[in-house]
Structure 1
Amino acid sequence: MNPTPEKERAIPELVAEVYETALPCDQGHMLEQLLRPLGVLSLVAIADGVFAKIRFRAGWQELNVRLEDIHNVRSTDVIALVDHAQQVSMDAVDGLARLVLASPGLSGSAAAMVLVGLLLQRTRQGREDDEAKAMGMDDRMRDS
């Protein structure tokens, strides 16, 4: 069973809530985690291109979110970023769980812990689904 659509919709809002209360250095790490897998077209299309400006400023290979970048990112931008990142790379969003747990500043909020719980649940469910698919393939191979 996959996480419910309500939980999937809650993840971007929880990420934005955690982002809003995070220290600037943690905000930068969160953005870097989410931006890394996204391509040019994605970045231009999301939040009026605010993330494309961040990504292109230092060159494509080096992603380094600066303090002035963080000031230009609103919580609605983060919601749009997470929505899109989930479609491109669940690992990028799920990786936020490790980031939150590793940061004393982030892991202290209730929203962060709810977010981590949802992300870990989704990751665990994805592994179980992959195992079930693999077992189904093994069964089909034996039957043929």
Structure 2
Amino acid sequence: MTSIASQPGGHVPAPLDPEQAIPSLVAQVYESAPAAERCHLVATLLRPLGVLSLVAIANGIFAKIRFRNAGQELNVRVDDLQNVHAADMVALVHHAQQVSVETVDSLVHLLTSSGGLASSAAAALLIGLLVQRARSRRSTQTQADDGSLDPC
């Protein structure tokens, strides 16, 4: 995996490619979010991911959170996130997109329902990209479904 360098101030630059921009924007939203909102953001991204895959991400920092919640509902605490940085979030989102793009797309609901998350320019850009990607995926799926009905 390629390393993503942070800009001064801890922000990760957002690339132009939407698939690469989304993890960077989530990291920027995470960095500017209040602590409680950070917990919700991380919990949403962790839900579909298995412990084994989390061990390989960000030196296992997210696997430790999952292990602490073994056998119970995932509950990310503020103290769990003390060592989670923007680059760790980029890695988490990148992996979550590969496993469940719908999970990452579901961040739109989380962002729009939380004033603490939705207040930044990065959040506005992220919402736009996620909505655009979801629409594009639905359109592609509809076209594929229509094509599967063609007897030729």
Separation of aligned partners in 2, 1:49 and 1:17: 21
Secondary structure, aligned partner of 1:135: helix
Contact 2:48/2:103, CA 8 A, preserved across alignment: yes
Consecutive unaligned residues of structure 2, counting only runs of 5 or more, are 1-15
> What corresponds to 1:136 in structure 2?
147
Secondary structure, aligned partner of 1:37: coil
2:120 to 109, 123, 141: 109
1:59 to 70, 83, 92: 70
Q: Once superposed, which parts of structure 1, at least 4 consecutive aligned residues long, lie more than 3 Å away? A: none
1:21 to 14, 18, 32: 32
2:51 to 40, 45, 65: 40
Secondary structure, aligned partner of 1:38: coil
> What corresponds to 2:110 in structure 1?
99
Separation of aligned partners in 2, 1:16 and 1:85: 13
Q: CA deviation at 1:70?
A: 1.4
Separation of aligned partners in 1, 2:134 and 2:71: 29
Larger fraction in helix: 1
Q: CA deviation at 1:10?
A: 0.5
**Distance change in 2, residues 1:60/1:90 (3 Å):** farther
Secondary structure, aligned partner of 1:139: coil
Consecutive unaligned residues of structure 1, counting only runs of 5 or more, are none
Between the two structures, name the one with larger relative contact order (CA 8 Å, sep ≥ 6): 1
User: What letter is aligned with 1:43?
Assistant: L
TM-score, normalised with respect to structure 2: 0.87
For 1:2-24, what per-residue CA distance to the aligned partner results, in whole angstroms no more than 9, with x for missing partners? xxx81110110000000000011
Q: CA deviation at 1:61?
A: 3.5
Identity percentage of aligned residues: 54
